[in-house]
Structure 1
Amino acid sequence: MNPRWISSLTIPLFFLGTHFSIIFLLYPRALLHTTQYGHWEPAVINMLIELVLLVILLHGLKKGGHQDFADLFLPLGRWISTPLLLPLILYILLIAIMVLRGFAELMIIVFVARSPLYAILALLCLITLLGSSIGSQGIMRASTLFSLLHIPALLFALFACINNSKLLNIFPVVNPTMDFLQHGKLLVSLFSICPFLLLGMLPPVCKIRIKPILMTMLPLSALYVYIVYIPILVYGVNAAVLMNFPLVTSIDSVNITWSIFNRVSLFYAVALLAFILIISSFSQWASAVLIHKMVPRWKESYIRPCLSLIIYTAALMIPNWDWYVDIYTVDTWFRMIIFVSIPVAVYIRGQFIQKQARKQVVQNDS
């Protein structure tokens, strides 16, 4: 695969796809609980926060010579690298656990109402294990293919909801008090920006260009706002806030007679499955790589099945949807620490590496 083509197209599509796996599954419900009206305001704030953290991370990776998290932190010694890498590994695994468990719940609703949860999770974890075994380049190729195939179907399902929309439900549009800043519910919804961390594992695979990544933030921001307002426009705020899956419920209400499928939500669910498998496979591969670099005597081929078993067991131990919601609420502060500390640490480390490289050049010239 041509490296220039990877950096110009594949990485932005991967960045979009990993966000799709999070925001289409969990984000509308979380953001609907942040405020009673003016939901575009917390959505825009979420994207601004991600933009700041993303710029810090990307500039740190660039200054650090395009190395991944492990290569940047491990030379600092065990006492510094372990407190940075171990929580990061746990959080990356948590991403896989939450998206697989959340999608398994969605599959029961949309596809297979009578299938047991353990069987669905076993199938998803097996596919994820196979996906992580093909390596990062294979996952990136699959991400590009899935994006080109499924993004049009996903957009079709989203825009089909316009048929059932009532424009009056959007009012009031502005929340001048911005009271959502006074409590922690806005922080809870920030789980949606977690895919930006995964970019820190790509530099050894391919060079990340900052401009294409930042350009993807424009359509992504518009999509963040649009998917939150779909259930509001279809059902109204008071009804939408009571739903566990407000977006898929809104899509499921659409009836298009000329469609080859009876339910438009099938487009949504199939497309979402592709992006779920991408982020889960990449998360498992990234965790295995980080663990292997921390403990070189452990082989990646042994680490991946162990991680897959951990993901399956942890996901199966979540008994119901209320527990699921509680988990991504309780881990808010752990998540925020990761979001802030890792980009800042990467930037500081990258700054140091850049200064050392400049000193070396000056010494060689003299």
Structure 2
Amino acid sequence: MNKSVHVMILYILSHLGLIFFMYPGNIISSTEQGHWLPILLGIIVHFTFLFVYLKGLSFFPKKDIITIYTEIGKGIALLFLIPIFIYFMMILLITVRAYAEIITIVFLSNTPLWAIMLLLLSISTYIASNGVEVIFRTGFLLSILFLPIILFIFFTSFQNVDWRYAIPFDTDFRFITKRPYLESFFAFSGGFLFLGFIQPYFSYSRKSILWAAAILIPFFIFSVYIPILTFGQATSATTFLPYVVVVDAININWLMFDRVTMFFLLSLLSFIMLYLSLVTWKTLRILRHYIPSIKPVNQVITLSVVVYFLCFLIPGWEDIEKLFWWNTFLRFYILIAVPLSIYFFGSRIKRKDKNETI
């Protein structure tokens, strides 16, 4: 069954939930001027490995990456699937804990962290436990409900921009070695892996995924530049969530609500919970492959409970940042090694089949 539109929507929503929160702050902190270059470099890396990944998956129709690696060899499967599993666990842990902290800071200061983390985990786990079809249907529903709100707020956030702040355009490549820039790749790395997990269930065209990635380009650019064009580089660099601060400053006289920040954050949080459900589902797929004897229901409950209690081991935001930084090295391994390996094994098998045919 061809689900190109649904895959496009899920690809866009999962990335939007990651772009507007921490990504702008990372890019702004990585350089003082010419922010277009770090953004452009990240987009090029994103498109390069996405194309390689899609091309590699095309060699294995109706097979997910678990089956691909397993058929090549158990050692190869362990070499790639175990790091992917650890990476997914780190994503769940960091995302739940970090976004619970953000929710507390921004608009639920009196709500305890344990309640917010429980809400994020319980909803995402429930969606994931019902399978990938439910995740796709949920994504389609959320796009109808919240994408118009996100787009409306995105365009109105240009309200106070001063285009002179974009000057100067010149920059250098010193940002490449800086920690904030390396951390910014979290917005590019983990979002496309689900394409290799859904192949046994749905088919999709590679062109539609590349179009979805192209649609995200303005959001990557202006999520960084709108805070800079509104407040300037010096002020933007001091804010915790630059784009959220810009949204909080939007003034629309004809709107009956004083602040649109609440609608913006709730929309993005719905995308984050969808992203968490997708990561949970992928993690459970790997678990079921290696531990088939445990019932799926017990695996779902155990996974969510383990993640929930591990979140309590992170005392504060400084520790979240440390964990985020430690995960950067694994993030680049996943970003680079998985697409290249899928392409390498696929092209090798194709050449072998061609030689046997001849």
More divergent stretch after superposition (349-358 vs 295-304): 349-358
1:1-366 map, 5 Å = 3-4=1-2, 6-7=3-4, 9-175=5-171, 177-193=172-188, 194-355=190-351, 357-358=353-354, 362=357
> Matched residues in 1 for 2:105 and 2:332: separation?
31
Assess if the C-alpha contact under 8 Å between 1:96 and 1:279 holds in 2.
no
SS in 2 for 1:74: helix
Query: Residues 290, 270 of structure 1: CA spacing in aligned structure 2 closer, same or farther, 3 A cutoff?
Result: same
Deviates more, 1:230-239 or 1:293-302: 293-302
Normalized against structure 2, the TM-score is what? 0.94
Q: Distance in 2 between matches of 1:201 and 1:16?
A: 17
Deviation per CA, 1:74-106, whole angstroms, max 9, x where unpaired? 123332211210110111222222222222122
The answer to which of 112-121 and 288-297 deviates more is: 288-297
Displacement after TM superposition at 1:235 (Å): 1.5
How many residue pairs end up in the alignment?
357
Where in structure 1 are there 5+ consecutive unaligned residues? Answer: none
- Measured in 2, the distance between the counterparts of 1:332 and 1:41 equals 20
Q: In structure 2, what residue type is equivalent to 1:83?
A: L
Give the distance between the partners of 2:282 and 2:254, measured in 1 at CA: 43
Q: Which amino acid aligns with 2:324?
A: Y
How many angstroms apart in 1 are the aligned matches of 2:169 and 2:73? 52
CA contact (8 A) 1:65 1:350 kept: no
TM-score by length of 1: 0.92
Q: Is the 8 A contact 1:131 1:281 kept in 2?
A: yes
Q: Answer yes or no: is the 8 Å Cα contact 1:132–1:281 preserved in 2.
A: yes
Distance 1:145 1:104 in 2: 24
Tell me the amino acid that sits aligned with residue 100 of structure 1: V
Secondary structure, in 3 states, of the residue corresponding to 1:331?
helix
Range that drifts further, 336-345 or 291-300: 291-300
SS of equivalent to 1:162: coil
Does the Cα contact within 8 Å between 1:61 and 1:347 map onto a contact in 2? yes
